[in-house]
């Protein structure tokens, strides 16, 4: 028996809960939101597909009732507000930091052994904040961003290759932002062959650029942030944890000297299993990649300073 809580029943949180439920990843799922009726309504809507899709997972929705989350094995935190017209970057971070801080503190009162998966934005900084306010072991806090970015990278590669995305390997490290993520072209392959043997430099440069602005591109098209892929990425992490899959995924992790960085949460390859982050995997970066990673870390640090910890 396994229990998962998803905090935030907006588009991303509800999508995550929907996938967890339909794919039977956990036996019990709790969807929580501060807005009256939203979590209850979405949970009910999803559960009304059980007779159509044949799943036995139990999903319930609650308005701010954290007692219902007790005993959760994994908690996915999607809470926060999007940036609104006229809102400064500092104001956005201040508002979301307050939300994430209060959510994680209350969650741990009811589920002290839970592994936390952070999706709230700005994701690297919110993951860092969670470490600082909870002081949990670093294996128990996982930022989702790099998993989403890597999936977008594989999608862009598959389009250029006219290939199935499931047959393409690609990994993105660094910060979860348009200027901070680093698609590692050197490690990208299609059915074992380096993509650099199959695609020209101009095409690969375009793929890197399109990957880096993947979120902004969708926001421009949709008029709001994406939710299907982010929600699926969150569920993917939960699956890797609960089923002890030992998958190597890019996740936002607290570094303590790895990749030449310390006291920072940023996307690196990690092995994920039942205890959360079980290992930070050392991909041997070349000099150019090391320089890009160092630059990315500095940008993330500048955002972290806005927390005023």
Structural domain boundaries in the chain: 3-145, 146-307
131 is a catalytic site residue: no
Among the four given CATH numbers 3.90.330.10, 3.40.50.2300, 3.30.70.270, 3.40.50.720, the one describing domain 3-145: 3.40.50.720
pLDDT at 44 over 90: yes
Which residue is catalytic, options 22, 110, 131, 176?
Answer: 176
3-state secondary structure of 149: helix
- Which pLDDT score is estimated for 89? 60
Contact 3, 28 (CB under 8 A): yes
pLDDT at 284 over 90: yes
pLDDT at 82 over 90: no
Which among 38, 35, 30, 41 has a CA at the least distance from the CA of 4?
Answer: 30
- Which pLDDT score is estimated for 308? 83
**Secondary-structure class of domain 146-307 per CATH:** alpha beta
The 10s digit of each residue's pLDDT in 136-184 is: 999 999 999 999 999 999 999 999 999 999 999 999 999 999 899 999 9
- Which pLDDT score is estimated for 81? 83
Alpha-carbon dihedral sign for residues 117, 118, 123, 124: negative
Which among 113, 101, 109, 102 has a CA at the least distance from the CA of 68?
Answer: 109
| Continuous segment of H or E residues that includes residue 90 | helix 89-110
Mean pLDDT score of the chain:
95
Residue 219's pLDDT band (cuts 50, 70, 90) = confident
* Stronger pLDDT, 111 or 85, i.e. the higher one: 111
Give residue for tokens 């006291």.
263
- Which pLDDT score is estimated for 1? 87
Contact 105, 134 (CB under 8 A): yes
State pTM to two decimals. Answer: 0.96
pLDDT at 83 over 80: no
d(CA 104, CA 166) in angstroms, rounded, equals 34
pLDDT at 302 over 80: yes
What string of DSSP letters covers 178-237? Answer: TTTEEE-GGG-EETTEEGGGTS-HHHHHHHHHHHHTHHHHHHHHHSS---HHHHHHHHHH
């Amino acid at each position: 028996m396994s229990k998962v809580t998803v905090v935030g029943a907006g588009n991303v949180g509800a999508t995550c809960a929907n996938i967890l439920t339909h794919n039977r990843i956990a036996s019990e799922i709790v969807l929580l939101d501060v807005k009256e009726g939203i979590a209850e309504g979405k949970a009910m809507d999803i559960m009304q597909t059980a007779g159509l899709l044949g799943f036995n997972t139990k999903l319930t929705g609650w308005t701010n009732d954290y007692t219902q989350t007790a005993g959760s094995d994994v908690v996915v935190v999607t809470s926060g507000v999007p940036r609104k017209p006229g809102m400064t970057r500092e104001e956005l971070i201040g508002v979301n930091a307050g939300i994430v801080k209060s959510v994680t503190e209350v969650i741990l009162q009811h589920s002290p052994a839970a592994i936390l998966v952070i999706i709230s934005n700005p994701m690297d900084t919110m993951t860092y904040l969670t470490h600082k306010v909870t002081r949990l072991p670093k294996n128990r806090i996982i930022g989702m961003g790099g998993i989403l970015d890597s999936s977008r990278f594989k999608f862009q590669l598959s389009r250029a290759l006219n290939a199935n995305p499931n047959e393409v390997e690609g990994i993105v490290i660094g910060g979860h932002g348009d200027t901070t993520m680093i698609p590692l072209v050197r490690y990208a392959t299609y059915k074992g062959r380096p993509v650099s043997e199959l695609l020209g430099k101009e095409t690969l440069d375009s793929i890197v650029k399109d990957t880096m602005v993947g979120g902004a591109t969708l926001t421009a098209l949709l008029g709001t942030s994406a939710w299907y892929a982010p929600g699926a990425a969150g569920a993917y992490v939960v699956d890797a944890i609960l089923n002890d899959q030992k998958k190597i995924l890019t996740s936002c992790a607290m570094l303590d000297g790895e990749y030449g960085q310390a006291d920072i949460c940023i996307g690196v390859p990690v092995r994920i299993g039942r205890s959360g982050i079980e290992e930070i995997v050392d991909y041997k970066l070349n000099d150019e990649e090391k320089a890009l990673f160092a630059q990315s870390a500095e940008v993330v640090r500048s955002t972290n300073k806005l927390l005023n910890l």
